[in-house]
Structures are given as structure tokens and as C-alpha cells.
Structure 1
Amino acid sequence: MIHEVDDVLRALLRAEVLEGAQIAVVFDAPTRDWAAKVNAPTVNLYLYDIREDMRRRERGLHNEYDGHGTVIARRRPPRYFKLSYLITAWTKRPEDEHRLLSSLLACLLRYEALPPERLTGTLQEIGAAVPMSIALPPPEDRSFADVWSALGGELKPSLDLVISVPVTASPTYTAGPPVTDEGLRAGFGDHPPEPRARRGGGLPVYGGKSVRPAPAPDAEGAASDSGPRRAGLSLRITERRGGGGDDG
């Protein structure tokens, strides 16, 4: 993934800035020992920092479909990583270096992302944009002076190029079979459920209209609302009121 970004940057600068000029494009660390060996005009793109772009992180899963539109698998969304390049120009005269940096800046300002027609390999297969920014202020936890101090070289004018690269290296989760209308049906409301053949004495459906069994007939043949009688103790209490006199 990183080497593919290197190839795109090299091809872009050679085609739109250098235009066949005898200027090398390298990705070496611009240390003091390296600078002492430079004997030809050179553009250096040093990759000095790699960190995740937290602003572009997504949650959830992305679906993968077959030719019939059925979900067959799910995958995590791509995660973006910021590649920070320190761009410097190396010539014999500072004026030539400034002129070259000016051309580099004008070229990179034309794009908000790497040109899609120049993407190859994995970057082309993903099909997502590869955003980039040029010459923005560095984050608070890092300064270019610190980078040069770590390299052990002398401070030079430079451009900071940041490219957010999508990475899709994540496990794939196989999806279960699609849900169909076969199986349990639930109905809600006062309407009775649609008639349907029962399989092996199924249980009643939650939310459906309950059907009470017909009342069992009593001894006289009339249907009783109280259902079948059960053995037990019954007690009847009556009250008799006299006509007016005492019985005693």
C-alpha cells in the first residue's frame, strides 16, 4: 500500500513538474551523510510519519452481495492512515531549490486527492478516494524542526504532504441464509389469523386472537359457560323472611 503511493507520487511529479528534466525523485532520509553525497538535482520525498486518520474511522459493517443482490458476507469498513512526506529540493543554488519547490507546490495544489487514473494495484481495486493535503500547519505534538533534529541535518525549506490511504485488511464474516416468509407468522389486532395448515400441533401464536374451546354440555343437554364441572364442595346460602309474626 505504501509503495503504491510512492509510485503514484513519482509518476505524478515526473509527468507534471519535472517534464523530462534530469532531476531524480528519491525517498531517502535526508540525513547529513546523505546530503553530502547528493551531486545532482534531486527531489526528496521522505516518509517520516504514519498514523491513523481518526476523523475518517467508521463503525459498523459493510455488506457484500452476490449477483442476485443477496448479502453473502460482511466486512469492516476501510480504515484510513495518514502518510506524511517531507518534500525537499536539492540543487547547487538556493534559488533553484525555491523555484523547484514552487513548481511542486503549484502541482500538488491542483488536487484534493490522488488522481484516480494514476492509482494502481490495491488502491485501484478499493475504488475509494485517496485524499491529500499540502503545506498545512503541523499538529501541535510535532514540528518540522524536531524532524530535522532527529535526522541530524540542517533545516531546509520543505513542503509537508499528507495522504490518507484506505486500508481494507480486515476479516470477512460470512452471512447466514436469507430470511424468507416461511416459518412463524405473528398477527396483531382483533382480526383472526389466516387459516394455515398446522404442523404437528404447533403452539398458538403470540398476539393472535385466542380461540376458546366450546363449552361442554351439562346433564340437560344445554351448553354451560362455566366449562366442564370439577369435583368439589359447593355451598348455597339462602335467607327466609317471615310474614310478620314470631314463630315462638
Structure 2
Amino acid sequence: MIHEVDDALRTLLRAEVLEGAQISVVFDAPTRDWAAKVNAPTVNLYLYDIREDIRRRERGLHNEYEGAAVVARRRPPRFFKLSYLITAWTKRPEDEHRLLSSLLICLLRYEALPPERVTGTLADIGAAVPMSIALPPPEDRSFADVWSALGGELKPSLDLVVSVPVTASPTYPAGPPVRDEGLRVVFGDHTPEGRGGGGGLPVYGGGRGGGPGEKETPAAPAGRPGLSVRITETHGTDG
């Protein structure tokens, strides 16, 4: 996934900024030792930070279908922010500034990686890959700290952040579909043998024997599942 973002950025910059110029695009850490070995114009995209974009995290599960039936469920994709430190390396500061200006103008044209530049699993997902350029860094991190960690001297740079979806997650098989077959009600004195109620116990609201004036309905035929209901009638007496 990360290497696919690298490839997309390299292709984009070579096609729309460098345009065949003899300028290398690398992803090395711009340490002091590395800088001492640079002997040709170079654009460096150093991936210095990877962290989840919590604001884009979704809850719940996504359904997978076969026809109209749900066959499985999986967690929604999670987005991770890849932060690149972009620097230009030439013999003259003026040339570096000119190159940085061209890079900035190119990246400002897009709010996401162009789909035609995306390949591999990112292309298969089909989701947009948002990116932002030259925004202020988070409060818990400054570019001076990055350069200090690299052991190099502070240099003009662009901060590029790419928010990439990651879909790898467990798949949970779905249960069989619920069928709408209705509810069957059977009128009788007792529940059928072998079904809830403990084999012929009276249902709620009825006694074992019929009282005066009560008329009982026949018991449900054996082997017919359903709900047993006791029906009684009470006749009033005169004066």
C-alpha cells in the first residue's frame, strides 16, 4: 500500500513537473551523510510519519452480497496519513526554490491522487486517496524536530500528507437469511408433546379441569407445532 503511493507520486511528478529533465526522484532519508553524496539534481520525498486518521474511522460492519443475500460482513476501511517531507537538492539555492515552486503548483492542482496514476490494490479499492500540501504541522510535531532527528541542517521543504485507505480486516460469515413464513396458531388445551411447556402442561390462564359453565375446545392434533390457547365460556345466571 505505501509503495503504491510512492509509485503514484513518482509518476505524477515526473510527468507534470520534471517532464523528462535529468532530475532524480528518491525516497531516502535526507541525513547529513546522504546529502554529502548528492551530486545531481534530486527531488527527495522522505516518508517521515505514519498515523491513523481518526476523524475518518467508521463504526459497524459493511455487508458483502451475493445477489440480494448478505453472505459476509467486514469492518470498514481505515485511513492512514502518510506524511512526506519534500525537498529539492541542486547546487544553487535559486534552482532549489524554482523546483520547489513547480512542485507546489503541481500538487495544489489535486485534492486526491489522480486515479490514472494509481495502480495495484489502491486502484482495485476504487476509493479516492485524498492529499494535502503545505498545511501547518500538528502541534505535537515541528519540521525543526524532524531535521534534528535526521542530523541535518534545516532546509526549505514542502509537507505532503496522503490519506490512504487500508481494507485488510477479518471477514465474518453471515447467518442464513430470515424467512417470512408467518406464525401458526393452534387452539387446544395443552402444548404438543416434546415442545416447550414440558409435555402437556396447561397453558397460562387455564386449569386442568373445566369449571361450571366452561366449555373446552379439543386439544391440538399431535405433531402439529404452534401456539396452544385455552378458550373458555362463562354463562351468567338470572337473579
Structure having the higher strand fraction is 2
1:177 counterpart = 2:176? yes
**What SS class does the counterpart of residue 86 from structure 1 fall into?**
strand
Counterpart in the other structure of 1:128: 127
How big is the shift at 1:211?
A: 5.9
Counterpart code for 2:8: V
How big is the shift at 1:118?
A: 1.4
How big is the shift at 1:125?
A: 1.0
Deviations 1:91-133 (A, max 9, x none): 0000000000000000000000001121111101111111100
Counterpart in the other structure of 2:201: none
Contact 2:79 2:165 in 1 (8 A): yes
Write the distance in 1 (CA, Å) between the matches of 2:2 and 2:16: 21
Write the distance in 1 (CA, Å) between the matches of 2:91 and 2:13: 20
Write the distance in 1 (CA, Å) between the matches of 2:86 and 2:3: 16
How big is the shift at 1:180?
A: 1.1
Evaluate the alpha carbon distance shift between residue 185 and residue 20 of structure 1 in structure 2; reply closer, same or farther with a 3 A threshold. Answer: farther
Deviations 1:16-43 (A, max 9, x none): 0000000000000000000000000000
Evaluate the alpha carbon distance shift between residue 27 and residue 199 of structure 1 in structure 2; reply closer, same or farther with a 3 A threshold. Answer: farther
1:77-226 equivalences under 5 Å are 77-182=76-181, 184=183, 200-204=223-227, 212-213=231-232, 225=235
Counterpart in the other structure of 1:54: 54
Q: Percent identical across equivalent pairs?
A: 84
Using the size of structure 2 for normalisation, the TM-score is: 0.80
Counterpart in the other structure of 1:18: 18
Write the distance in 2 (CA, Å) between the matches of 1:49 and 1:199: 72
Aligned length: 202
Write the distance in 2 (CA, Å) between the matches of 1:201 and 1:151: 79
**What SS class does the counterpart of residue 3 from structure 1 fall into?**
helix
Counterpart in the other structure of 2:38: 38
How big is the shift at 1:225?
A: 3.6
Deviations 1:148-196 (A, max 9, x none): 000000000000000001001100001111111125469xxxxxxxxxx
Write the distance in 1 (CA, Å) between the matches of 2:132 and 2:182: 55
Counterpart code for 1:143: S
Write the distance in 1 (CA, Å) between the matches of 2:102 and 2:221: 79
Using the size of structure 1 for normalisation, the TM-score is: 0.77
Counterpart code for 1:212: I
Write the distance in 2 (CA, Å) between the matches of 1:185 and 1:70: 26
Return the index of the structure with the highest Cα Rg.
1
Contact 2:184 2:226 in 1 (8 A): no
How big is the shift at 1:204?
A: 2.2
Poorly superposed stretches of 4+, deviation over 6 Å:
none
Write the distance in 1 (CA, Å) between the matches of 2:158 and 2:222: 74
Counterpart in the other structure of 1:4: 4
Counterpart in the other structure of 2:28: 28
Contact 2:41 2:89 in 1 (8 A): yes
Which ranges in structure 2 are unaligned for 5 or more consecutive residues?
186-219
Write the distance in 1 (CA, Å) between the matches of 2:69 and 2:133: 42
Which ranges in structure 1 are unaligned for 5 or more consecutive residues?
187-196, 216-223, 227-248
Write the distance in 1 (CA, Å) between the matches of 2:184 and 2:136: 61
**CA RMSD, aligned part only?**
2.0
**What SS class does the counterpart of residue 130 from structure 1 fall into?**
coil
Write the distance in 1 (CA, Å) between the matches of 2:124 and 2:74: 15
Once the two structures are overlaid, the 10-residue window that deviates more, 114-123 or 150-159, is 114-123
